[in-house]
């Protein structure tokens, strides 16, 4: 009965899948989850400006006492940041680029703009291209273009725009 003994010892295709494929799939899943949780924070101290370039070539300059958070391993899938303070952005064309503040989300495809989000003050200035702003509170949205500054009244949930060549 050597045939029966050899046959039962040899691994079946199902066993091979369970022994090799499942651990590999589990490891890949863990890597995806961990990379999605990892967040990088860049900060600037009082009186300091910090420049940073994202992996897609988009640039940000943080003004004094500001910080920005993003997920570097997911950057090419979701170009999304969280801003506290003030920052100037030069966004490379590509997928949608989002800047979230406590009050609004700024969405762009490729442009340059400044966001100032401090305590109870919010203003966004668009220098080139167009940007869309969405109120987190009421879901109101507004689109502004080149040389336009938008201020947001947080208490009344009102957007106000001004156009000037000097921006």
| Interval 7-18: pLDDT, tens | 555 556 666 666
* pLDDT at residue 7, as a whole number: 52
* pLDDT at residue 149, as a whole number: 94
The DSSP letter of residue 65 is T
Note if the pTM is more than 0.95: no
| Interval 49-65: pLDDT, tens | 999 999 999 999 999 99
Q: Give the whole-angstrom CA distance, residue 121 versus residue 119.
A: 6
| Interval 85-143: pLDDT, tens | 999 999 998 889 999 998 899 998 778 999 998 877 789 999 999 999 888 888 888 89
* pLDDT at residue 22, as a whole number: 78
Cβ contact 97:128 at 8 Å: no
């Amino acid at each position: 009965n050597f045939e029966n003994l050899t046959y039962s010892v040899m691994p079946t295709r199902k066993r091979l899948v369970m022994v090799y494929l499942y651990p590999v799939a589990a490891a890949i899943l863990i890597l995806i989850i961990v990379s999605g949780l990892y967040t990088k924070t860049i900060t600037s101290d009082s009186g300091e400006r910090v420049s940073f370039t994202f992996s897609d070539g988009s640039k940000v300059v943080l003004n004094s006492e500001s910080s920005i958070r993003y997920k570097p391993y997911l950057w090419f899938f979701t170009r999304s940041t969280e801003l506290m303070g003030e920052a100037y952005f030069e966004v490379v064309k590509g997928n949608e680029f989002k800047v979230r503040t406590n009050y609004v989300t700024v969405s762009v495809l490729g442009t340059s703009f400044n966001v100032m989000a401090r305590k109870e003050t919010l203003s966004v200035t668009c220098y080139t291209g167009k940007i869309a702003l969405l109120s987190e509170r009421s879901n109101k949205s507004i689109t502004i273009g080149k040389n336009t500054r938008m201020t947001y009244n947080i208490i009344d949930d009102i957007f106000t725009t001004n156009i000037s060549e000097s921006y």
